Amino acid sequence: MGRGLLEGRVALVTGASQGIGEGIAREYAAEGAMVALIARNEENLCRVAAEIETAGGKAGVYAFDITDYDRYRAAVDDILKRWGHIDILVNNAAVVWYGTILEEADSIERWRRTMAVNLEATWYGSKLVAPHMAKQQWGRIISISSIQAMTPSGGAGAYCATKGGIISITKSMAVELAPYNILCNVIAPGFIRTPMSIIDGVDETTTDWFLNYYVGMRKIPLARAGLPEDVAGTAVFLASDYCRYLTGQVIVVDGGLSSTF
Ligand SMILES: NC(=O)c1ccc[n+]([C@@H]2O[C@H](COP(=O)([O-])OP(=O)(O)OC[C@H]3O[C@@H](n4cnc5c(N)ncnc54)[C@H](O)[C@@H]3O)[C@@H](O)[C@H]2O)c1
């Protein structure tokens, strides 16, 4: 039930096959954007695209690994040919592995892979679209970090480092791209119920611990886990013309969690 806030805009959303990326893609399409859905799982992407189109929206499927930069560049070229311009990039795709620095699970391979997917591809994707946005003097680059960047709970050091890096590169891009009216901001979600919140087969937002402490004791003041659409609403605002004097910022979407101690 959109209000045309993104009418005529072309948006790229990475990690759009499920979770928060899917939620953002659906909301963007509902607001009138043409959405390029990027992730590795073609079947899931086709399902999301079909549902968007059934609802009257426009979507294109681009199935590749975002660390394959030849494929990423080819996709950007194709999107430009197909829709003529690129207005919005959402750097959302990410991976997480669990293990403390003392454990074998926290290996150099996992560190490098986490850096590549979460941080390097955020930088590279932004680098690919920024020149096109600069030419038209309008652009929005929205990157998804996490409250783990500011307040890590431990056990996912590489992930936290990438999420902190996303904030730093966004602030740098915000300064560099402001003369071209390209606004760069970060969303830092708290606990959002998605496939990523399933750890060892259990959705952490459904455990007794979560329900007692975060919900029952209102450690999360809004007393529930977030949903992808809660993040998507913020992502719509940041991509819209209502966001025009705001760049280089981190918007925390966590139900108030980080306001408590
Ligand atoms: N779920 C949460 O509680 C939570 C909290 C804070 C931040 N976040 C952040 O929100 C974003 C989305 O998370 P989510 O919970 O929806 O995760 P998810 O695991 O459900 O979805 C991740 C998406 O990224 C895609 N992806 C992963 N690696 C990729 C690659 N190499 N190439 C292309 N696509 C790739 C996956 O296919 C999937 O579509 C991430 O940046 C995550 O760090 C999530």
pLDDT in tens, 92-102: 999 999 999 99
Asked if residue 222 is part of any domain, the answer here is: no
pLDDT tens digits along 41-96: 999 999 999 999 999 999 999 999 999 999 999 999 999 999 999 999 999 999 99
pLDDT at 83: 98
pLDDT at 51: 98
* Ligand 1 nearest-atom number relative to CA 226: 3
Low-confidence ranges of the chain (pLDDT < 50): none
Asked if residue 155 is part of any domain, the answer here is: yes
Distances (CA, A) of 176 to 89, 165, 183, 237, 243: 16, 16, 10, 22, 18
Asked if residue 4 is part of any domain, the answer here is: no
Asked if residue 204 is part of any domain, the answer here is: no
The CATH number of residue 171's host domain is: 3.40.50.720
* Ligand 1 nearest-atom number relative to CA 189: 6
Asked if residue 202 is part of any domain, the answer here is: no
The residue segments making up the domain with residue 233 are 10-196+227-259
Q: How many domains does the chain have?
A: 1
State which of 92, 147, 150 you would mutate to test the pocket of ligand 1, scoring each by most atoms of that ligand within 8 A of its C-beta: 92
pLDDT at 261: 83
Q: Whose CA is nearest to atom 13 of ligand 1?
A: 20
Asked if residue 87 is part of any domain, the answer here is: yes
Asked if residue 203 is part of any domain, the answer here is: no
The answer, yes or no, to whether any atom of ligand 1 lies below 6 A from the CB of 19, is: yes
Catalytic residues: 159
State which of 194, 206, 251, 254 you would mutate to test the pocket of ligand 1, scoring each by most atoms of that ligand within 8 A of its C-beta: 194
Asked if residue 213 is part of any domain, the answer here is: no
